[in-house]
Copies of this chain bind each other. A is one copy, B any other.
């Protein structure tokens, strides 16, 4: 949990594989990292070393297996690792230096591609934000969770850049308070008016007609449009249905896992009890009590008004074919 947020996890895994390679190469070569990107540097040291490309493949593949075990839910992790493995397994790469440079380039590409996608998501999503709106978001799907701009929050940033005025409700997002700690901070940094509340106060906001729309990110989206995201997301979608407000999900299309048919088939990470029973070192529940602490929940597609991707806005994902909409716009 030092790194969180689906896009950030994917990018970190790609760079993690590069770091594993760098650590390995350091045994043979002084400052191996500079060879990754300096085309003009004499590569004698690399060529004179006894580094074998087979060992490089082995070390990076091992690192990819370790990284794969860190978080089960966000698909970006597996997607980014999959891209790195394609390079690791590419038999057309025969030189150690080429392999190092190709792996580094792949990680950089993943990072820039994610960032570009976030800008594109912001562009599409900002059309849904109107002047004077009060927008509720959950957890943190901003720069601190992504390549640096944000998915759900990127939409708000783009709307702000377009001159739209709106205010944001950021729920605190128990147990780890990403909403209070991260989203409220990001909003404050950009001078977007933000109000923090406990999740328990969501229904009051809806009942008092103080929310015009909800926008969240996603950790994994099934082929049918069901969205797995931070626990509590489902409750907001149910509130939107009950009170007739739009519920939006902002995520790159790489978050959609077409290998999984329905959201209830996506594994949900169960986090440690102590996240709930301790806070800031102080126990908050009796030791004899059990704990239920899922990190994510699944929102069925029929509760979602739109999934905002980098290539199109998928409206009513339960009634539209997601794959053909994406292909029609790619």
Q: Which residues of A contact B (CB under 8 A)?
A: 169-170, 172-175, 177, 180-181, 184-185, 187-188, 193-205, 207, 230-232, 234-235, 238-239, 241-242, 268, 276-277, 279-282, 284-286, 288-294, 297-298
Contacts and interface: CB of A to CB of B under 8 A. Distances in A.
Q: Number of copies of this chain in the oligomer?
A: 2
Contacts of A193: 290
A69 B296 CA distance: 42
Contacts of A207: 234, 297-298
A14 to B, nearest CB: 30
Contact of A277 (B180, B201, B268, B285): B180
A14 B301 CA distance: 53
Given A234-B207, A277-B180, A288 B188 contact: yes
A288 B183 CA distance: 12
Query: Would you call the interface of chain A mostly helix, strand, loop, or mixed?
Result: mixed
B235 A292 contact: no
Contacts of A292: 169, 195-197, 201, 204-205
A230 B294 CA distance: 24
Nearest to A235: B203
The 8 A-B pairs with the shortest beta carbon distances in the complex, nearest first, are: A200-B232, A203-B234, A195-B290, A180-B285, A174-B198, A203-B235, A197-B292, A280-B280
Contact of A289 (B174, B184, B234, B239): B184
Nearest to A285: B180
Contacts of A285: 172, 177, 180-181, 184, 196
B239 A235 contact: yes
